[in-house]
Structures are given as C-alpha cells and as structure tokens.
Amino acid sequence: MKRSIIMIGGVVGALALAATRLLAADDGAIILQGTAGTTLAQEQAALKAAKRQSDEAAERSTRLEQQAASARDEAEQARRRAAAVAARIQQAEADIEAAKARIAIIARMQRIQAARLAARQEPVVRLTAALQMMARRPLALALVQPGSVGDAVHMRAVLDQILPVIQQRTAGLRAELDRSRALRATAQQAADSLNQAQTDRRSRQTMLAALETRKRVAARDYRANAGLESERALALGERARDIVDLMDRLEDAGDLRERLAALSGPLPRPARPDQAGAAAPERSTGMGGPPPYRLPVVGQLVTGMGEVNDSGVRSRGLTLITQPGAQAVAPTAGRVAFAGPYRGYGQILIIDHGQGWTTLITGLHRVTAQVGDMVRQGDPVGITGAERPAITIELRRNGRPVDIVPLVGLG
C-alpha cells in the first residue's frame, strides 16, 4: 500500500508540474493595441485601401523617376524628382496606414485568442490545483489514513481515467499556445513594418525638402511676377464674402485669362515667363470632360459628398483624415490661383485646371506651391498639420460641385 501511495504521489506531482509549466509557457507574448471603436470589416477595408494606395504611389514614383532621368533641363529634372519623392512619401504614408490596420487586426485576433486560451485553461487550472494538493500531502499522513490496498488500487484506476483527459486538455492548450506564438511573431512583423515605414517617410521628407530648395533656386530668375500675382489673389480673398464667393471670383479671373489668351495677336505676358513657349499643362480633353484626377493626400475617407457634418453643413467634397504632416500633391494639372490662409479654413490651395474646372483643398498646415505656379499631377503642393488632420477636397465645374468618387475609383 505504501508503494502504491508513493507511486500515486509521484504521478500526480509529475502531472501537476507539467500542467503548471504548460500554463506559463507563453508569458512573453506581445499584445498589440488595436484601434478602438472599429469593426473587423472596417479594419480589413482600411488595410486593403492602404495597400492599393501604396502600390499606386510606388508606380507613380517609378514613372516620375524615369521622366526625371530623361529630362534635359535642370529645373525640369528637379521638378520631376521632387514629384517622385513626394510619391515615395505618400507610399510610406500608405504603408504606415497598412501597418496600423494590420496591427488592429492582429490585436483583435490576440484578444479572441486570449479569451479562448483562458476558457481552455480554467478547467486545467482547477484540476492542477487539486492534483498539487494531493501531491503535497505528507506521506506519513497518507499512511495513517484509514483505507485498504483496494482503496489505493481504486485511486490508481481513477487516475488512469483522468490521465487521458488531462493529456487531451493539455494538448488543446499546446495548440492554443502555438497559435499565440504565431500571432506574437506576426505582431512583431507588423510592428517592424510600422517602424520601417516611419523611418522611410522621415528620410524621404528630408530628401524632398532639399529638392524643393534646388527647384526654387533653379527657377528664381523667372519669378519676377510672382509677388504681383500673389497680391492680386490676396485682394480677391479680402473682397470675397466666403470661400464659395472666392472660388467664383477666381473662376471668373481664370475665364478672362483664357479668353485673352485665345485672342489673335500678341499674347498677354504669362505669370511665369519660364513657361512661355513651353507645353501647356495637362488638361481635360474632348468636350470639357473631367481631367485625370487623384486624391491629393493618403488617408481615410470620413465624409463623402452631400453628407451633413456635425455643424449641419452639407459637404461639397470629400474629407479625409491623414497622417500628421502628410504630403499633399496636385490632384491634376493646372495653375495655382490661390495659396495661403483663409478665414478659419487653415491654409488653402485653389488650382485652376482650365475649361471651368477648379480644385479647392482646405485644412493644410503649410502650402509649398505659390500663386501662378503651373503644377502637374503629383507635384508636391503642401503639408498637413499634426494630430490626424482633416483635409477637404472639392472639385468644381463652372461653379458647380462635382462628385470626385467616380474619378478616383472609390465607388
């Protein structure tokens, strides 16, 4: 009987130790913080959109780098390289959004996994505690306890029945812990991707600042009329009642400029003498169709056209939440008609695309384009502010708002 009791105590102690080690096997797991208040479908949609934006930005950058390499003029080369780096910055911003969406998805999976693991652990923990109590009973107490060798044999039979159950449950725990370790590895990869994208973005922002300086230096001899153009735009802004009136005034001025340019005889002096004789900027073709268009920033769409915001105002465009300090580019080619602060809208940018098409971008922190600049699609034009700024983009045709969604493929 003594030998049977010693054997039972040894088996119980080994089972208890094994179960205890199993439960502590995943103490070093990385638990990511997800995005509060979002659903899995929203997180998956955000990941898909960010990947698409990253691929598109990478393709644009490659194309612009090829154009820069073939450019003969130093100013044109600097301009194309700046646009290529701006596209690389937007690629990094999209990669950041993708990494954050992936982290949110993994964090959700980790929470589900933790709950499932806790449910599997609970009965094993209770059983382990009972077995440990039996294993720790003093042998002398077991010897003096009333009972027979038959009782010991009966206990052995009970343990033989319990052992397969313990093995089955601990096998399930091992499988759950293997899933936890796999999630931990995936979480580390997502965190590394986020850090790398942030590093790439900072280095490319530094590169763009240097290229912008070179671009301005290359064009400084041709900016004689820039100050006059800017003063005219500011004067229009002061006389305008609101931002809609400002855009109407600028559109009228643009129509007048186009009519004067269409007259026979001497052409009016261009705002940018360096553009004289150069190819006209890319504009819409056909019977006034929409120009080739893309969103100027990488971000998440929060307000669509026609939606009513918290202030009760119906939106005339799209509002996106961007990364702090995100890069803004020209959505399509045109001439900068207004650039600067305006009445509670932050720094705004208005681009005249010709044939009655204009774009308004509000909520910028800094505008890098200047009034009179001829911009091409993808040229860097500004920077957003800090703390997830909201950027609004409006497209108009002859004073009427136009839905941007079909033009950029969001529908």
* Helix or strand run (H / E) with residue 337: strand 334-341
Helix (H, G, I), strand (E, B) or coil at 292: coil
Determine the Cα–Cα distance for residues 39 and 41; give it in Å rounded to an integer: 5
* Average pLDDT score, the chain: 76
Of the candidates 23, 43, 178, the residue with the CA atom closest to the CA atom of residue 104:
43
| The pLDDT of residue 283 is above 60 | no
Report the amino acid identity of residue 20.
T
For the chain, give every domain's residue range.
2-221, 226-263+293-408
Helix (H, G, I), strand (E, B) or coil at 351: strand
Contacts of 279 (CB under 8 A, 6+ apart): none
The DSSP output letter for 274 is G
Provide the β-strand partners of residue 300.
Answer: 321
Using pLDDT thresholds of 50, 70 and 90, give the confidence band for residue 344: confident
Residue 226 contacts residue 273 (beta carbons within 8 Å):
no
The string of pLDDT tens digits covering residues 118-146 is: 776 666 666 666 666 666 655 554 555 55
Alpha-carbon radius of gyration of the chain: 34
Report the amino acid identity of residue 30.
I
The string of pLDDT tens digits covering residues 373-411 is: 889 999 999 999 877 788 999 999 988 899 998 888 765
| The pLDDT of residue 280 is above 60 | no
Residue 272 contacts residue 372 (beta carbons within 8 Å):
yes
Both tokens of 382, joined, read 């500004």
* Helix or strand run (H / E) with residue 168: helix 149-219
pLDDT average, residue stretch 104-108: 88
CA dihedral 196, 199, 200, 205 (to 10 degrees): 160
CA dihedral 263, 265, 266, 270 (to 10 degrees): 20
More confident position, 168 or 335: 335
* Helix or strand run (H / E) with residue 44: helix 40-70
| The pLDDT of residue 321 is above 80 | yes
Q: Between β-strands 347-354 and 318-322, what pairing exists: parallel, antiparallel or unpaired? A: unpaired
Determine the Cα–Cα distance for residues 145 and 140; give it in Å rounded to an integer: 9
pTM over 0.85: no
> Looking at residue 91, what is its pLDDT?
94
The CATH class given to the 2-221 domain equals mainly alpha
Helix (H, G, I), strand (E, B) or coil at 334: strand
Determine the Cα–Cα distance for residues 322 and 104; give it in Å rounded to an integer: 17
Determine the Cα–Cα distance for residues 346 and 322; give it in Å rounded to an integer: 15
| Architecture in CATH of 226-263+293-408 | Distorted Sandwich (2.70)
Q: What are phi and psi of 242, to 5 degrees?
A: -155, -175
Q: Do 2-221 and 226-263+293-408 come out as alike in CATH topology?
A: no
Q: How distant is the alpha carbon of residue 16 from its chain centre?
A: 48
pLDDT average, residue stretch 190-201: 91
Contacts of 364 (CB under 8 A, 6+ apart): 328, 346, 347, 348, 349, 382, 383, 384, 385, 391
> Looking at residue 11, what is its pLDDT?
46
Using pLDDT thresholds of 50, 70 and 90, give the confidence band for residue 2: very low
What value, to the nearest 5°, has the Cα angle with vertex 234 and ends 232 and 236?
Answer: 70
Distances (CA, A) of 307 to 90, 316, 399, 403: 27, 8, 19, 12
